[in-house]
A and B are shown apart, each in its own frame.
Chain A
Amino acid sequence: MLESILLTIATAATPLLLAAIGELVVERSGTLNLGVEGMMVMGAVGGFVGMILTGNPFIGALVGVLFGTILSLLFAFLALTLATNQYATGLALTILGLGLSGLIGEPYVGRSAVRMPVLDIPVLSDIPIVGRLLFGQDVIFYISIALVIGVAWFLFRTKQGLTLRSIGDNPQSAHALGIKVIRYRYLAVLFGGACAGLAGAHLSLVYTPQWTENMSAGRGWIALALVVFASWRPARVLAGAYLFGAVSIGQLHAQALGIGIPSQVLSALPYLATVLVLVLISQNRRLTLINTPASLGKSFVPDR
């Protein structure tokens, strides 16, 4: 019982974690891409359609990553090259992604999927309770954990990571030092798109192996909130994603038990929890001000 609950929490947390860790890198570069929801839902439809057409969920996941990346390239071109308003561009990306995914996925509604297989690491996965949680999951779970470690290492242990963070704080100075600000930001945005795409693919290949319209159901936005919650720190993104995974799974279990609360109240819990967490975090101005990339959301146009 406990083991299966832990497993479902990990399954619910993985897409949030992936989308949030990608967006964390984007925001560390000083760019705010509000289109996570759109990239995620495109990843979901890409993953599903890719899997149906090839019969292979791994290729499906790659198609999902590709879809998310392509959409993020569109954002990068507008927000970075053309210096459009990042808020509005991200919103447009979400509207476009929701529409496009609905259009692409329409013929595939109701088809059932080949679920992504579980990679059982022998012996280790037989450890009671945590064995399957840590060593008997689908491959996307392992990627999500590896990405958190990788991003933390990159941001705080490498020269390029330091450069990326400095760009997020002060692109003018970085540019004056000869750093290619726009190139760094492009790479960060594309990384974020790939992560959001993989997060979406996880939804349609692992979480609920099927395609339904708007199946991301606000998770992209919750991922954005998680980045704020984590005050732009990878390890805290991990903790936050699992906390939210627990809330959404707890909500499902409560519904299944049929305790006398309307199901809609329980369904609203993840969204209300997001608001609550945002309030608690933003109240702590010191914490948020220290870590918020200083140029977040501001366009940068290099003067030649």
Chain B
Amino acid sequence: MRLELIKRGNPSRALQFLSPLIGLALAVLTGAIMFAILGKDPLAALYVYFVEPLTELWSIHELLIKAAPLILMGAGLSVCYLSNNWNIGAEGQFIMGALAGSIFPVLFTDVQSPFVLPLMMVFAIVGGALWAGIPALLKAKFNTNEILVSLMLVYVAELILDYLVRGPWRNPGGMNFPESVRFHDLARIPELMPADGRANWGIVIAILVAIAIWVMLSRTLKGFEVKVLGTSPRAGKFAGFDAKKMIFFSFLLAGGCAGLAGIIEVAGASAQLRPIISPGYGFTAIIVAFLGRLNPLGVIVAGLVLALTYLGGEAAQISLGLSDKVARVFQGALLLYILACDTLIHYRIRFARAPKASGSAVDA
């Protein structure tokens, strides 16, 4: 017996909507099996992982803190993937944005004015966009593989951050810890509702940016151009769209978003630079983009879901003694399931019993 794919006449609209939900359900099921293998009661573990973090207000604040960078980067990456540009280096663009945005609070500590924070954000956007501009430039000019270049630059960005916080940007009064000075209050992103928890305006910025990108994609010519060049480069060429400009547009946009996410992370929750500032947000954002159907509004929901996997991972670590790697396994499985379920949108699956006789074309 083997599987056969039969092309549907029209993509199934119902499955288009259901596919990410089925993927999510299968991933949760896999999570339950994984918990059982690790010797925990699956139902109790699922509760700790996926429900408990949502039952307390402070915990929801933490969820929003983690969702903000995922939504920002996921929305930017959607534009890349829709236009068939494979930027997988958001993690590096996040770091470079955080570094560029931190120039003011780390090097010019005496500049204390309300303009510092907006300036930091502009620097972060430019920093992330420039870092993303490298693979874009090399792809546009030399036809270099953007996947590999953007990924190599992640490792380089991590090393630059490591160098700075251990070297020139190390806090002189920090007992030799590899970390920068703490950002002063005017360089911090204000908290939304300080009485209830730590969530800051980052989540609002992230959602607004995602909505703006959604409007661009669904309501403007530029958005049309993104999709046409992504699905059919030839058609795009005939329509007079420039594929090279699209490489820059999508990469700089995604890089800018990732850079902004970087400064929101360090000027928000952590308030200083450390050798590691991201628990793999840039890679998780790839999953966010796909779970959100490469639609920025979907990305907002997907960002919250993936933020929950981080938070649940922490909760399970504390109260069940489970490894924090469980979160990563869950995320990887989730992406595989979503991709598998997406096949159902375009194909019907049939189980063929015996290998058919060659040359027979009756079955139509």
Is B147 an interface residue when CB atoms closer than 8 A count as contact?
A: yes
Residues of B contacting A81 in the complex (Cβ-Cβ under 8 angstroms): 3, 5
Question: B326 — which chain A residues lie within 8 A by C-beta?
Answer: 99, 103
Contacts of B342 in A (CB 8 A): 84-85
| Selected contact of B153 from candidates A74, A93, A100, A275, CB within 8 Å | A275
* Distance A261 CA – B172 CA, assembled complex (angstroms): 21
Given contacts A218-B155, A268-B159, A301-B347, contact A99 B332 (CB under 8 A): yes
Q: What is the bound-complex CA distance between A221 and B86, given in angstroms? A: 14
Taking the closest CB of chain B, its distance from the CB of A236, in whole angstroms, is 16
Assign chain B's interface to a size class.
Answer: 35 or more
B262 to chain A, nearest CB (A): 19
**How many angstroms from the CA of A4 to the CA of B233 in the assembled complex?**
52
Closest residue on chain B to residue A82 by CB atoms: B343
Once the chains are docked, how many angstroms separate the CA of A100 from the CA of B323? 11
Query: A282 touches which one: B144, B290, B331, B332 (CB < 8 A)?
Result: B144
Contact between chains at A221 and B5 (CB < 8 Å): no
Partner of B332, one of A83, A92, A225, A301: A92
Count how many pairs of residues, one from A and one from B, have CB atoms less than 8 Å apart in the complex.
Answer: 147
Interface set, chain B 103-157, CB cutoff 8 A to A: 138, 142-145, 147-149, 151-153, 155-156
Shortest distance from the beta carbon of B363 to any chain A beta carbon, whole Å: 6
A81 to B347 CA separation, bound complex (whole angstroms): 11
Most chain A CB within 10 A, of B81, B88, B336, B340, is at B336
Question: A96-B336, A267-B159 are contacts. A301–B138 as well, Cβ < 8 Å?
Answer: no
Contact (Cβ within 8 A) B148 A99: no
Q: Does A122 contact B (CB under 8 A)?
A: no
Chain A residue nearest in CB terms to B332: A96
Q: Are A82 and B145 CB-contacts (below 8 A) given A99-B332, A279-B138, A301-B347? A: no
User: Which chain B residues numbered 146 to 175 have a C-beta less than 8 Å away from chain A?
Assistant: 147-149, 151-153, 155-156, 159-160, 162-163, 167
What residues of B have a CB within 8 angstroms of the CB of A100 in the complex?
A: 325, 328-329, 332
CB under 8 Å from chain B, chain A span 201-232: 213, 217-218, 221, 224-225, 228
Residues of A within 8 A of B332 (CB): 92-100
User: Do B156 and A272 touch (CB < 8 A)?
Assistant: yes
Q: A264, B148: Cβ atoms under 8 Å?
A: no
Q: Looking at the complex, which one of B138, B287, B340 makes contact with A95 (CB distance below 8 Å)?
A: B287
Question: In the complex the two chains form, is B145's CB within 8 Å of A278's CB?
Answer: yes
In the complex, A54 has a CB within 8 A of chain B = no
| Chain A interface size range | 35 or more
B13, CB-defined interface residue at 8 Å? no
Which residues does chain B contribute within 8 Å of A106, judged by CB atoms? 323, 325
| B-side contacts of A221, CB under 8 Å | 148, 151-152
Give every chain B residue within 8 A of A225 (Cβ-Cβ).
145, 148, 152
CB-contact partner of B148 in A78, A274, A285, under 8 A: A274
Question: A283: which of B142, B145, B148 is its contact (CB, 8 Å)?
Answer: B142
The answer to whether B328 touches A99 (Cβ under 8 A) is yes
CA distance A96 to B4 in the complex (A): 26
A159 within 8 A of B: no
Contacts of B152 in A (CB 8 A): 218, 221, 225, 271-272, 274-275
CA distance A242 to B358 in the complex (A): 47
Q: Is the CB of A99 within 8 A of B143?
A: no
A264 and B160 contacting across the interface, CB-CB below 8 Å: yes
List residues 224-283 of chain A with CB under 8 A from any CB of chain B.
Answer: 224-225, 228, 262, 264-265, 267-268, 271-272, 274-275, 278-279, 282-283
Contact surface of A with B, Cβ cutoff 8 Å: 34, 74, 78, 81-85, 87-89, 91-100, 102-103, 106, 178, 213, 217-218, 221, 224-225, 228, 262, 264-265, 267-268, 271-272, 274-275, 278-279, 282-283, 285, 288, 301, 303-304
Q: Can you name 26 A-B pairs with beta carbons within 8 Å? A: A89-B336, A91-B335, A95-B335, A96-B328, A96-B332, A98-B328, A99-B328, A99-B330, A100-B328, A100-B332, A102-B323, A102-B325, A102-B328, A103-B326, A103-B329, A213-B325, A225-B148, A262-B167, A264-B163, A265-B159, A268-B155, A271-B153, A272-B152, A278-B145, A278-B149, A279-B138
Q: B interface vs A, CB < 8 Å? A: 3-5, 7, 81, 86, 88, 138, 142-145, 147-149, 151-153, 155-156, 159-160, 162-163, 167, 283, 286-287, 290, 323, 325-333, 335-336, 339-340, 342-343, 347, 356, 358, 361, 363
Given A96-B329, A288-B143, 13 more A-B residue pairs with CB atoms under 8 Å apart are A82-B5, A92-B335, A92-B339, A95-B283, A96-B336, A218-B151, A218-B152, A264-B163, A267-B159, A268-B155, A272-B156, A278-B144, A283-B142
